[in-house]
Structure 1
Amino acid sequence: MAAKIFEFMGRFGLGLVVAGGVVNWALYNVDAGHRAVIFDRFRGIQDVVVGEGTHFLIPWVQKPIVFDCRSRPRNIPVTTGSKDLQNVDVTLRLLFRPAILRLPQIYTTLGEDYDERVLPSIATETLKSVVARFDAGELITYLPSGQAELLRPPQ
């Protein structure tokens, strides 16, 4: 009698472990400050952005791609010319984050490393166009002790 009870408990326990493994395999977490885009093998990137929390997916068919949507800093060093043709070394510090509703489009067109592809070129061109409006002396006046602030043309 006791052997039958232990045999039943063993089968029940094994079944419970297998069921728990399948359920765990079909769950994924999206941490605080992150969002996920779902890649479906049959339909491609879905247009829905998944928020924080624990969510279900279909194993082998769907895959979550998690993006960090918090503001992150990035330093971009640039060597450019001023209005009086002096070389100026400036480091631009950007705080950036992706547009949450545009994450499916960002992933489709740029990939997960969108910041590596987009930020350096945009920041470099913008900084060069702003620095080119000033003389080297004006830049020193507007940027005391190397601390970059918003560059505004003299009034």
Structure 2
Amino acid sequence: MNGTSLNAGVKLIAAVVVVILLFALAPFGTVPAGYRGVMTTFGSPSDQVLSEGIHFRVPLAQRLNLVNVSIQKGEGEGDAASRDLQTVHTRVALNYHVRPDAAVTVFRDLGNEPGQRIIIPSVQEAVKAVTARFTAEELIAKRTDVRDQIIAQLRERLARHGIVVDEFSIVNFNFSRSFNDAIEAKTTAEQLKLKAERDLQRIEVEAKQRVAQAKAEAESLAVQRQQVTPELIRLREMENQRMAIEKWDGKLPNVAGGAIPFINVAGAVK
């Protein structure tokens, strides 16, 4: 019984040791989602790109290295000079990913550090090259064109290294204080000029309205003068006399002298 128990204990210990060795040596490697694997044998990378899943490796001799192929974001800033020699401080953001089929190239040629090895220098060079083509004012007014030209340069540079540019954005342009003051003064002058032009247009419209109104009134008076005839004048006099008789109380006014104001009053009453 003692011998049997001893053998069982030895086997148990041996099994535990084997399990520990298996975990320690890790004969299997896993490539998670968003990554590709590159197997190295004594440091030498294989040309095969390993997809997501579990892969066998020779313990101690081989190692499974992971290359991130998901979309990554990088931000940076730096100074450049515009075509009119204004200092421009630019902040940019870049979304990129490693082509899955280029995982071995990125691992071997870029040390699995594409951001530091190629992306940051390429972004800085592209931003400086494109910024030098525009004046400071054009960088503001033609921001979309500036961005498109930077993207074109980046895609050409990074494609050679198996990197795809997904999106590029110019977060901000900053200029010197003196240039900002000059832009503000120019904007204020343009606004004042625009206001003066609007005021002039308003004055011209109001003047034309007054001329049109005066012309209409003159034409109306002319028409009225044309319609005045001796018969109309006589009719207006008779209407005035009739209205005066209707208002008369039958008493003649007390006057110290002078003519009586109503002529033929008695005949009119009869």
Q: Which moved more, 1:23-32 or 1:69-78?
A: 23-32
**Amino acid aligned to 1:21:** I
Q: What is aligned with 1:87?
A: 87
* Structure showing greater Rg: 2
- TM-score scaled to structure 2, two decimals? 0.48
Q: What is aligned with 2:127?
A: 127
- Give, in whole Å, the separation in 2 of the partners of 1:6 and 1:131: 82
- Give, in whole Å, the separation in 2 of the partners of 1:152 and 1:97: 19
- TM-score scaled to structure 1, two decimals? 0.79
Q: What is aligned with 2:16?
A: 17
**Alignment partner of 2:98: what SS?**
coil
Q: What is aligned with 2:99?
A: 99
Q: Which moved more, 1:71-80 or 1:11-20?
A: 11-20
Q: Identity of counterpart residues, as a percentage?
A: 24
More strand by share: 1
**Amino acid aligned to 2:93:** R
Kept in 1: contact 2:131–2:146 (CA 8 A): no
- Give, in whole Å, the separation in 2 of the partners of 1:13 and 1:94: 56
Q: What is aligned with 2:47?
A: 47
In the alignment of these two chains, the number of paired residues is 147
**Amino acid aligned to 2:139:** L
**Amino acid aligned to 2:75:** N
Structure 2, unpaired ranges of 5+: 150-270
**Amino acid aligned to 1:96:** Y
Structure 1, unpaired ranges of 5+: none
**Alignment partner of 1:84: what SS?**
coil
Q: What is aligned with 2:59?
A: 59
1:88-138 Cα offsets, whole Å, 9 max, x none, are 111121112212212222222221223201012211111122222222122
**Alignment partner of 1:73: what SS?**
strand
**Alignment partner of 1:97: what SS?**
strand
Question: What value does the CA root-mean-square deviation take over the aligned residues?
Answer: 2.5
**Alignment partner of 1:16: what SS?**
helix
More helix by share: 2
Residue 77 of structure 1 and its aligned partner are, at CA, apart by 1.0
**Alignment partner of 2:130: what SS?**
helix
